């Protein structure tokens, strides 16, 4: 009898602990504010990174594929689509009731080589490029119609000074390639949310151009629901005030803000916050100072920086649709190889042993504070 009671109490204790764990998850804490998401790598999508998958399902309410929905993977050869990984990714999200994001339809990078050229290697005409864009967008978006809830339709098309990136899309179609992409996406799934996504989207001239694009599309009846502010940030840049101003400005232009691709690097940066993958710098030991762990003062600074950002997100929760981390654990982060290859960075919310860092609980507590 005594044994049964002890066992009963133990079961109760275990289920209480489990309840508390769920009680304290990020997704529960932010349930009434905005989606809280993460990017998923291929091992996570394929179920071979089981520990990360457990974190993803218990902590996050939204997912985006870190790589497998980019055009070079989805359509490596013209007309030959490869959907196996993306299908598994979408199935994972549906099984776990998540808000699924597609990343990304039109991007100058991670794009298959054939996209812009004819059989002689010459630039295709505007008409051919439009047809290729339409076919890619329509095939991909239609496949996941009603299941992928939001698309990064165009990624990284504007420079920090507000000019258009001189990509092949721009060279061949001019500024019109952006509205065209949104129009094709809207036709393929009228109910999906459609976003323009970019990094350094707090640079004032960049904000202006993005807002002009948004307004121009809206005035022509082309839907755009949100701006994705990639948040690949460091300890010092950007200033919180400039980031906040951008949130407010985008919201005033009538779109929601998605905080996308978030991580805070703890390492020195040679130049700030570019996320342009071709901008790399040669390895130097002084740029990799914390191979054995973060010193306490840096850890504190890093944690405070996260808390400042999340305070800001909560302050503007009416303008924010989603906050998405760019990965789960530190060892998975692209920041270990960017902008300097082979460093040890600590940018994400879960450590290399799959444990939540203390900042996670502190972020959760922020949601309980009175504003």
Residues forming the active site = 156, 261
66 binds ligand G3I (CB under 6 A): yes
Which one of 277, 279, 293, 358 is in contact with ligand G3I (CB under 6 A)?
277
The answer to whether the beta carbons of residues 62 and 34 sit under 8 Å apart is no
Taking the least distance from each CB to ligand G3I, the nearer of 110 and 138 is 110
331 binds ligand G3I (CB under 6 A): no
For 2-36, give one letter per residue: b (16+ CB within 10 A) or e.
eeeeeeeeeeeeeeeeeeeeeebbbbbbbeeebbb
Listing DSSP states for 301-365 in one string gives HHHHHHHHHHHHHHHTTTTEEEEEES-SBGGG-GGGGSSBTT-----SSB-TTSPBPHHHHHHHH
Residue with tokens 């890619």: 136
The answer to whether the beta carbons of residues 98 and 62 sit under 8 Å apart is yes
The answer to whether the beta carbons of residues 82 and 76 sit under 8 Å apart is yes
Residues of this chain, 165-224, that bind ligand G3I according to CB under 6 A: none
328 binds ligand G3I (CB under 6 A): no
For 44-71, give one letter per residue: b (16+ CB within 10 A) or e.
bbbeebeebbebbbbbbbbbbbbbbbbb
Taking the least distance from each CB to ligand G3I, the nearer of 29 and 233 is 233
Taking the least distance from each CB to ligand G3I, the nearer of 124 and 349 is 349
Q: What share of the chain is helix, strand, coil (3-state, %, to 5)?
A: 45, 20, 35
Which one of 275, 349, 359, 364 is in contact with ligand G3I (CB under 6 A)?
275
Taking the least distance from each CB to ligand G3I, the nearer of 26 and 275 is 275
109 binds ligand G3I (CB under 6 A): yes
Taking the least distance from each CB to ligand G3I, the nearer of 96 and 110 is 110
Site string for ligand G3I, 36-55 (x = CB under 6 A): --------------------
# residues contacting ligand G3I (CB under 6 A): 10
Which one of 38, 44, 230, 231 is in contact with ligand G3I (CB under 6 A)?
230
Q: How far is the CB of 120 from ligand G3I (least distance, A)?
A: 28
CA distance 293 to 295: 7
Which one of 92, 169, 313, 334 is in contact with ligand G3I (CB under 6 A)?
334
* Residue nearest ligand G3I, CB atom distance: 334
Evaluate the CA torsion angle 232, 300, 328, 351 in order and state its sign: positive
Tokens of 192: 């999906």
332 binds ligand G3I (CB under 6 A): no
CA distance 258 to 99: 13
Taking the least distance from each CB to ligand G3I, the nearer of 124 and 347 is 347
Residues of this chain, 145-164, that bind ligand G3I according to CB under 6 A: 155
Q: How far is the CB of 51 from ligand G3I (least distance, A)?
A: 18
List interacting residues with ligand G3I (CB under 6 A).
66-67, 109-110, 155, 230, 261, 275, 277, 334
């Amino acid at each position: 009898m005594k044994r049964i009671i002890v066992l009963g109490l133990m079961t109760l204790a275990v289920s209480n602990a489990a309840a508390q764990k769920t009680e304290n998850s990020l997704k529960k804490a932010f349930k009434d504010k905005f989606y809280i998401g993460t990017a998923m790598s291929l091992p996570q999508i394929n179920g071979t990174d089981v520990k990360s998958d457990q974190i993803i399902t218990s902590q996050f309410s939204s997912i985006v594929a870190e790589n497998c929905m980019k055009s070079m993977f989805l359509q490596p050869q013209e007309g030959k689509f490869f959907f196996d990984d993306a299908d598994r990714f979408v199935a994972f999200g549906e099984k776990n009731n998540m808000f699924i994001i597609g990343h990304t339809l039109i991007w100058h990078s991670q794009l298959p080589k054939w996209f812009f050229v004819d059989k002689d290697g010459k630039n295709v005409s505007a008409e051919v490029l439009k047809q290729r864009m339409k076919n890619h967008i329509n095939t991909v978006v239609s496949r996941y119609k009603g299941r992928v809830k939001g698309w990064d339709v165009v990624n990284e098309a504007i420079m920090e000074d507000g000019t258009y990136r001189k990509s092949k899309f721009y060279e061949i179609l001019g500024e019109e390639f952006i509205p065209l992409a949104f129009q094709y996406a809207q036709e393929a799934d009228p109910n999906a949310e459609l976003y323009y996504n970019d990094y350094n989207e707090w640079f004032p001239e960049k904000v202006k151009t993005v807002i002009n694009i948004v307004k121009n599309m809206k005035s022509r009846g082309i839907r755009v629901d949100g701006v994705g502010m990639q948040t690949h940030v460091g300890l010092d840049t950007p200033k919180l005030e400039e980031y906040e101003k951008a949130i407010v400005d985008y919201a005033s232009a009538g779109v929601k803000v998605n905080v996308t691709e978030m991580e805070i690097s703890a390492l020195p940066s040679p130049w700030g916050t570019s996320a342009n993958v071709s901008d790399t710098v040669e390895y130097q030991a002084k740029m990799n100072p914390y191979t054995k762990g973060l010193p306490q003062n840096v850890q504190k600074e890093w944690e405070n920086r996260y808390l400042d950002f999340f305070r800001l997100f909560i302050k503007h929760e009416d303008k924010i649709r989603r906050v998405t981390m760019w990965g789960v654990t530190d060892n998975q982060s692209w920041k270990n190889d960017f902008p300097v290859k082979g460093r040890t960075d600590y940018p994400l919310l879960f450590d290399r042993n799959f444990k939540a860092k203390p900042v996670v609980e502190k972020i959760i507590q922020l949601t309980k504070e009175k504003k």
